[in-house]
Each structure stands twice: as C-alpha cells, then as structure tokens.
C-alpha cells in the first residue's frame, strides 16, 4: 500500500511552514501556490505510478557479474530514465547548469514522496544531488560545466567515496593515494560501501573520492578530494575511454537491496585518472559540505519510510478481522482494537510532526543560502543546528514506527510477502549511513551546543516558547534544565558524549511537539474553509493531541537521563561486560 500523502504535504507547506517563508527570496519569487500544487501533484503521480510499483520486487536486489558490471532490479532503469526525462533530476540544481533551482521546501516534499515510494531506487539521485551540491560549491567552473549538467539531466549519476576497510568513521585512517601527473592525478586504493558505485541506469558515474597526495600531512588535515569518472570525458562532453576503476563486488545486505552497494577498486593497472576539486588537503571540508546535504536527505528518508510503513499497516488493519474489539460488533476489523488504534495513532502523530519539521529545515537551508545580512547568518546557524536533529531523530523514530507497522500486522508482519518487514529492514540503515546517530549527537553536543555555550539552542527554545501552550512550555522547561546541566554541570568530555544521543532525541521530540502544535493551530484556523475536508482537519487536530500525550512526555524522561545518566555510564569498566 502506497500513499504519497500529497494532501498533508500541501497543508504543511501552505499553512504550517508557509511557502511565503521562501518566496520573498529573489530566486523563488515565481513559486506561487499554483505552481507548488502542480509540482506536488505531478511528483505524487510519478511516485505512485512509476516508482512505487517496483519497490517490493526491487527488494530481490541488484546482481553483480563477473565482468564487474551490475544489473539493477527489473524496472529500475526505466523508472530512473523517467525521472530524468521528466526533469525531476534537475529540480535542486542551479539554472546555469541545467537545473530548475526549485526551493528546498518543494525539493524536500518531492524527495519524501520518492523515498516513500521506493527508497532503494531514490537513493541513487540522493547521492547524485549531494555531489552536484558539492561541485556547485567547490569545483572549478570548467568542472561544473563538464560534470553537473549531465547529472542534473539524469544521464550521469554521482557517488561519495569515503569509507575503506580500515577507515569508516575515522577518516584520518584513509590510505587511498593520489599521485600528481600533469593536469590530473593517478588514484589507487579501494573504497567500500559505495551506494550505486556501479549500475546500469546511467551512461556515466562520477565518483567523488577522498585520497591522500604523497606529501600530505597526517590525519584529516591531509585529505584531498577528486572527481574520478567511470568513463573519461572528452573536450566536447562525449564519453571517452574507460577509467581504471571497477566494481569488484556488491554487498549482501539487510535492506535497501535494490540499491547496489559497491566495493570499488581504483588503479588495478596504471591508476585511475582523477581531478582535484578545490585545493590539496581541503577535501574534508568539501566532503562534509556534501555530507551535510546528504544527512538532511537521510532525515527525509526516515520520514518517508515511516509514512510507507504507516499506510501499509493502516491498509492491513482496515481489512483484517481477528477477534471482536472491545465494545464493538462481530466482524469489525482490528483497527477498532484499542491498542491497534494506539499504534496507528502514534505512528501518524509522529509522521505529521516530522513532515513540517523537515520542511522547516529545508526553509532554513534556503534562507541560510539566499538571505542577506544578519538574517542570513542567523538562518545558517539554525540550519546547521537542525540538520543533526532532523537526521538523528527522524531516522531513529523510523525504526520504531516501521517496527510498530510490523506489530499491527501481527504474525503476518513477520512474513515477507506482506512487505511490512521490508520497511523495517530498509529503515535500519538510516541511523548508520551518512554518520551514525552518535556522530549526529556528538556534532549537536560539541559543535552546535558547547562551542557557542548554548546560544543557538537557547535561541531555538525561545522561538518555540513564542508558540507554546502549557504542555509545550513544560517540555521547554525540561529541555532548558537539561541544557543548563550540560553547560554548567561540570561534565567531562566523555560524560557529555555519554548523554549526547538522549540530548539529540530530547530536542527531536521537542521540535516535533512544536510542529505538532503548529499543525493543530493551522487546522483550527482552517475550519470552515472550503479548501479542506472537515474530517481531514479533525484528524489533524486529534493527531496533534496524540503527540502531546504520547510522544512529548519523552522530553521530560530524556531530560532526566541527561541530568542523571552520564555518571553511571562513565563509571562502567569495559572489562565488566565480560564478567
């Protein structure tokens, strides 16, 4: 069961976050409500008719062949071609490189539909968009002209090459070498966990590779980044010789099986030709720019897979008859059982909080990029603060929501043919790739909180307080107490790290509660309007109240963990785990 939730996206954009939150920026002045609705409708149609039907069949996985090629599941190549031909692969790219420069709020809404429809397929362009973003920010004009336009057109795709066997989170351990040779470098090394590192959906694949030059300093200060195309590009833009990079295998995975995760060997022969982006030893900053874009996208994936799991569970619960629900008649479906209703209501309540939160984050990214003066700086700070919260909280909750979806199915949820298990398996990677939840939490704790002595977080709390009702005010107070403890409680670095994930989750539930309350007030304001069905508005108010009763209290619980939990973790001895 797939539902793009187009109506809810439209409501969130127009009445909760507001399309006018970005249309005063000059690049987006022409994006009125009519254009917005047309984009949403067409994106929803494409998702439902082209992308979603091949989701479950795509779970069988891509196939690696002994000639180092990879075949994606049936229908994937045609669906990706449809995205390109329809102009959808260019929506977030600058106009001068063949893009549409669509506001991030509409790009985020579109991506949510695609990843909900088929996360394994949509992953390909998520990474490509990240590469486009990195090149637009850091590459030379010649590199932009050569590589960005074909990716925006969907003819080429892009990858991010960080991880090696000995270098996962610890990028200082990277060993891939880049030896200068004229106007290019020769790249030698092996990269693992490369999403869509090899496939049959595009003419060329552009790899962005972290490597070290021979005289590079030790550690992360000695990392450079290089464009390494699968096929070299001639001066006229046509494809030339095959580069010295090949896929030696793809991984057998728990989920997102439609997406081939490649092991790439660079330089088995003379060395792959690569082109330096920016300056030597500046690669980490460039790659983190790409990763920040990708992390926001992964947060949206958490929302997407949650929505897919919810509608799957809802469809089953409306049809399945098992027992007579309390105070109901024989033959009533399981949706009337109180606990099934609780599961579905809390799933939906959190999804409806996540959606405007993601769109708010998109707005912050746009204003941080296009605004001017002090406002630009303030929005940049807000966007940087929101990315780890959106990525961390939404992906962690996606696992819980997908698990609840399996629970609604009962035993049939454990059987693959229903498809419910696929959503849980697909969700499980989201808290790991593009930086684990702990990495997001440490970023939030040390770079976004302790570095500025909590100024950015206090400003966020002040903004939430302006909109707060009694329940949200109490939650803000709990969060404030936890923040004060982090800043003034004398925590060691290790103690702060020990409660960084509870801190992230606390702010996730708090900002989710903020958006839930905005949803409720927007729905109340729209009552009597002919634009919205009365049941739609009543349901939105009810789900906001479910969030306040069932999810928002987590802020108080997590605050207590932050206040009291760090010392107990730090008191542990690693040897005791074996005792």
434 counts as catalytic: yes
Residue whose C-alpha is closest to residue 140's, from 244, 227, 253: 227
Residue 364: give the domain boundaries. 286-570
Distance CA 286, CA 274 (A): 16
Distance CA 347, CA 449 (A): 30
Q: What is the pLDDT of residue 287?
A: 81
> 221 in a domain, yes or no?
no
Distance CA 287, CA 433 (A): 14
> 252 in a domain, yes or no?
no
- Given a cut of 80, whether residue 510 has pLDDT beyond it is yes
Tokens describing residue 107: 């790009």
pLDDT > 90: what percent of the chain?
Answer: 93
DSSP notation for 354-392: HHHHHHHHHHHHHHHHH--HHHHHHHHHHHHHHHHHHHH
> 177 in a domain, yes or no?
no
- Given a cut of 90, whether residue 249 has pLDDT beyond it is yes
> 314 in a domain, yes or no?
yes
Q: What is the pLDDT of residue 36?
A: 97
Distance CA 468, CA 348 (A): 21
> 534 in a domain, yes or no?
yes
- Per-residue pLDDT tens over the stretch 39-49: 999 999 999 99
Per the listing, tokens 């010392």 go with 567
Instruction: DSSP letter for 321, please.
Output: -
Confidence bin at 293 (pLDDT 50/70/90): confident
- Answer for the pair 153, 89: CB distance below 8 angstroms, yes or no: yes
H helical segments located in 3-32: 6-11, 20-23
Q: What is the pLDDT of residue 327?
A: 87
CATH number reported for the structural domain that contains residue 522 in this entry: 1.20.140.10
pLDDT > 70: what percent of the chain?
Answer: 100
> 105 in a domain, yes or no?
no
- Given a cut of 80, whether residue 271 has pLDDT beyond it is yes
Calculate the alpha carbon distances from 6 to 12, 87, 91, 547 in Å.
10, 20, 18, 21
- How many Cβ atoms are within 10 Å of 326's Cβ, its own excluded? 8
Calculate the alpha carbon distances from 4 to 47, 87, 88, 371 in Å.
7, 19, 16, 31
Q: What is the pLDDT of residue 268?
A: 92
DSSP notation for 141-170: HHHHHHHHHHHHTTSEEEEEE--BTTBSS-
Q: What is the pLDDT of residue 171?
A: 77
Q: What is the pLDDT of residue 284?
A: 84
Tokens describing residue 572: 């542990």
Confidence bin at 166 (pLDDT 50/70/90): confident
Distance CA 222, CA 211 (A): 9
> 99 in a domain, yes or no?
no
- Answer for the pair 356, 17: CB distance below 8 angstroms, yes or no: yes
Q: What is the pLDDT of residue 90?
A: 97
Confidence bin at 291 (pLDDT 50/70/90): confident
Q: Which of 319-333, 369-383, 436-450 has the lowest mean pLDDT?
A: 319-333
Distance CA 246, CA 267 (A): 9
The active-site residue, picked from 164, 218, 434, 545, is: 434
- Given a cut of 80, whether residue 170 has pLDDT beyond it is no
Q: What is the pLDDT of residue 323?
A: 87
Q: What is the pLDDT of residue 310?
A: 98
Interstrand relation of 224-229 and 204-211 (parallel, antiparallel or unpaired) = antiparallel
pTM: 0.96
Per the listing, tokens 């779970």 go with 59
Interstrand relation of 156-161 and 204-211 (parallel, antiparallel or unpaired) = parallel
Number of structural domains (the chain) is 1
> 25 in a domain, yes or no?
no
Interstrand relation of 184-195 and 261-266 (parallel, antiparallel or unpaired) = antiparallel
């Amino acid at each position: 069961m797939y539902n793009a939730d187009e109506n809810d996206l439209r409501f969130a954009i127009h009445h909760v976050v507001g399309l006018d939150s970005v249309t005063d920026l000059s690049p987006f002045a022409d994006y009125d409500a009519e254009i917005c609705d047309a984009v949403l409708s067409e994106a929803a149609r494409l998702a439902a008719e082209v992308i979603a039907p091949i989701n479950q069949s795509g779970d069988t996985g891509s196939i690696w062949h002994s000639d180092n090629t990879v075949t994606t599941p049936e229908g994937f190549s045609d669906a990706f071609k449809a995205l390109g031909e329809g102009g959808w692969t260019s929506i977030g790219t600058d106009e001068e490189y063949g893009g549409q420069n669509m506001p991030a709020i509409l790009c985020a809404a579109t991506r949510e539909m695609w990843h909900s429809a088929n996360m394994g397929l949509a992953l390909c362009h998520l990474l490509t968009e990240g590469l486009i973003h990195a090149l637009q920010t850091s590459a030379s004009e010649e590199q932009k002209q050569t590589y960005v336009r074909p990716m925006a057109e969907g003819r080429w795709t892009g990858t991010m090459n960080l991880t090696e066997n000995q270098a996962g989170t610890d990028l200082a351990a990277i060993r891939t070498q880049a030896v200068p040779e004229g106007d290019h470098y020769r790249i030698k090394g092996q990269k693992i966990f490369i999403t869509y590192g090899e496939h049959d959906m595009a003419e060329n694949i552009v790899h962005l590779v972290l490597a070290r030059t021979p005289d590079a300093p030790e550690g992360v200060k000695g990392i450079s980044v290089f464009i390494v195309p699968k096929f070299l590009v001639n001066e006229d833009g046509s494809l030339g010789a095959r580069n010295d990079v090949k896929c030696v295998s793809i991984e057998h995975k728990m989920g997102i099986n439609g997406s081939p995760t490649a092991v790439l060997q660079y330089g088995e022969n003379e060395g792959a030709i690569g082109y330096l982006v920016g300056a030597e030893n500046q690669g980490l900053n460039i790659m983190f720019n790409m990763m920040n874009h990708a992390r926001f996208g992964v947060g949206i994936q958490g929302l997407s897979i949650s929505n897919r799991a919810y509608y799957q569970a809802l469809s089953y619960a409306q049809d399945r008859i098992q027992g007579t629900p309390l105070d109901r008649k024989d033959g009533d479906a399981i949706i009337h059982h109180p606990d099934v209703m609780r599961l579905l209501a809390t799933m939906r309540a959190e999804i409806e909080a996540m959606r405007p939160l993601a769109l708010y984050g998109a707005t912050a990214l746009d204003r941080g990029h296009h605004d001017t003066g002090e406002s630009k700086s303030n929005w940049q700070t807000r966007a940087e603060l929101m990315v780890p919260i959106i990525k961390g909280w939404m992906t962690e909750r996606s696992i819980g929501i997908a698990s609840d979806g399996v629970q609604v199915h009962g035993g049939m949820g454990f059987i693959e043919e229903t498809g419910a298990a696929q959503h849980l398996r697909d969700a499980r990677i989201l808290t790991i790739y593009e930086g684990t939840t702990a990495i997001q939490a440490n970023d939030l704790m040390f770079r976004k909180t302790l570095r500025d002595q909590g100024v950015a977080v206090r400003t966020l709390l002040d903004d939430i307080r302006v909109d707060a009702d009694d329940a949200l005010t109490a939650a803000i107070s709990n969060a404030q107490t936890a923040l004060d403890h982090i800043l003034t409680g004398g925590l060691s670095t290790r103690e702060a790290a020990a409660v960084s994930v509870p801190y992230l989750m606390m702010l996730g539930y708090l900002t989710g509660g903020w958006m839930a309350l905005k949803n409720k007030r927007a729905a109340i304001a729209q009552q009597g309007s002919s634009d919205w069905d009365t049941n739609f508005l009543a349901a939105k108010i009810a789900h906001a109240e479910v969030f306040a009763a069932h999810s928002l209290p987590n802020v108080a619980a997590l605050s207590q963990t932050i206040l009291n939990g760090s010392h107990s973790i730090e008191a542990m001895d690693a040897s005791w785990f074996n005792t």
